[in-house]
Chains A and B, each alone.
Chain A
Amino acid sequence: MISKILFTVLLIVSLGFFSWNIYKIYYNIYLGKDVKRNDNKKHRLKTMILVAFGQKKMFKRPIPALLHLAIYLAFIITQIELIEIFIDGIFGTHRFFKDSLGNFYTFIISFIEILSLLALIATFAFLYRRNLLKLPRLNMNEMKGWPKMDANMILYMEIILVLCIFMMNSADEAIKIEKSNLSYGFTISSFLGPFLCSLDYNLLFIIERIGWWGHIIMVFAFLNYLPYSKHFHILLAFPNTYYSNLQKKGKFTNMENVTKEVKLMMNPDIDPFSVNNENPTDLESFGAKDVTDLTWKNLMDSYTCTECGRCTSSCPANLTGKLLSPRKIMMDTRDRLTEVGDNFRKNGKDYQDGKSLLGNYITEEELWACTSCNACVEECPVNIDPLSIIIDLRRYLVMEQSKVPNELTGMLTNIENNGAPWQFSPTDRLKWAEDE
Chain B
Amino acid sequence: MNLRVPTMSEMIAKNESPDFLFWVGCSGSFDDRAKKITKALVKILNNCKVNFAVLGVEESCTGDPAKRAGNEFTFQMQAMMNIQVLDGYVIKKIVTACPHCFNTLKNEYPELGGNYEVIHHSQLIQELINQGKIVLADGGVYKGKRITFHDPCYLGRANDVYEAPRELIEKLDGELVEMKRCKTKGLCCGAGGAQMFKEAEKGNKEINIERTEEALELKPNIIATGCPFCNTMMTDGIKNFEKEKEVEVLDIAELIANAANL
Q: Which of B148-197 contact A (CB under 8 A)?
A: 153-154, 157-160, 184-185, 187-188, 190-197
Contact A375 B157 (CB under 8 A): yes
Contact A398 B69 (CB under 8 A): yes
Q: Which residues of B contact A431 (CB under 8 A)?
A: 29
Which are the 6 A-B pairs with shortest beta-carbon distances? A250-B158, A372-B193, A321-B204, A419-B60, A394-B70, A321-B203
Give the distance to chain A from B115, nearest Cβ to Cβ, in Å.
14
Contact B157 A373 (CB under 8 A): yes
Give the distance to chain A from B134, nearest Cβ to Cβ, in Å.
21
1/0 per residue, CB under 8 A from B, across A381-420: the answer is: 0000000000100111111000011011011100110011
A319 CA to B63 CA, complexed, in Å: 28
Give the distance to chain B from A240, nearest Cβ to Cβ, in Å.
20
B103 at the interface (CB under 8 A from A): yes
1/0 per residue, CB under 8 A from A, across B51-82: the answer is: 00010110111010111111111101110110
Q: Which residues of B contact A248 (CB under 8 A)?
A: 103, 106-107, 158-160
Q: Would you mind naming 27 contact pairs between A and B with Cβ atoms under 8 Å apart?
A: A250-B154, A251-B158, A262-B76, A262-B80, A266-B77, A266-B80, A287-B70, A320-B205, A321-B202, A369-B200, A371-B191, A373-B188, A373-B193, A374-B158, A398-B70, A399-B72, A411-B194, A411-B198, A415-B61, A416-B77, A420-B30, A424-B30, A426-B57, A426-B60, A428-B29, A430-B54, A433-B3
Contact B202 A415 (CB under 8 A): no
A317 CA to B106 CA, complexed, in Å: 27
Contact A408 B198 (CB under 8 A): yes
Which residue of the partner chain, among A259, A369, A378, A399, contacts B70 with CB atoms under 8 Å?
A399
A365 at the interface (CB under 8 A from B): yes
Q: Which residues of A contact B154 (CB under 8 A)?
A: 250
Contact B76 A408 (CB under 8 A): no
Contact A265 B188 (CB under 8 A): no
Give the distance to chain B from A264, nearest Cβ to Cβ, in Å.
11
Q: Which of A244-264 contact B (CB under 8 A)?
A: 247-252, 254-255, 258-259, 261-263
A249 CA to B67 CA, complexed, in Å: 14
Contact B201 A314 (CB under 8 A): no
The bracket for how many chain B residues form the interface is 35 or more
Contact A378 B184 (CB under 8 A): yes
Give the distance to chain B from A282, nearest Cβ to Cβ, in Å.
18
Which residue of the partner chain, among A371, A398, A407, contacts B193 with CB atoms under 8 Å?
A371
Which residue of the partner chain, among B56, B184, B188, B205, contacts A429 with CB atoms under 8 Å?
B56
Chain A contact residue count (CB 8 A cutoff): 68
A427 at the interface (CB under 8 A from B): yes
Contact B71 A398 (CB under 8 A): yes
A242 at the interface (CB under 8 A from B): no
A18 at the interface (CB under 8 A from B): no
* With known contacts A391-B70, A404-B69, A259–B203 Cβ distance under 8 A: no
Which residue of the partner chain, among A322, A374, A399, A428, contacts B202 with CB atoms under 8 Å?
A322
* With known contacts A252-B67, A397-B70, A415–B203 Cβ distance under 8 A: no
* With known contacts A371-B188, A374-B153, A394-B69, A316–B160 Cβ distance under 8 A: no
Contact A375 B187 (CB under 8 A): yes
Q: Which of B39-60 contact A (CB under 8 A)?
A: 39, 42, 54, 56-57, 59-60
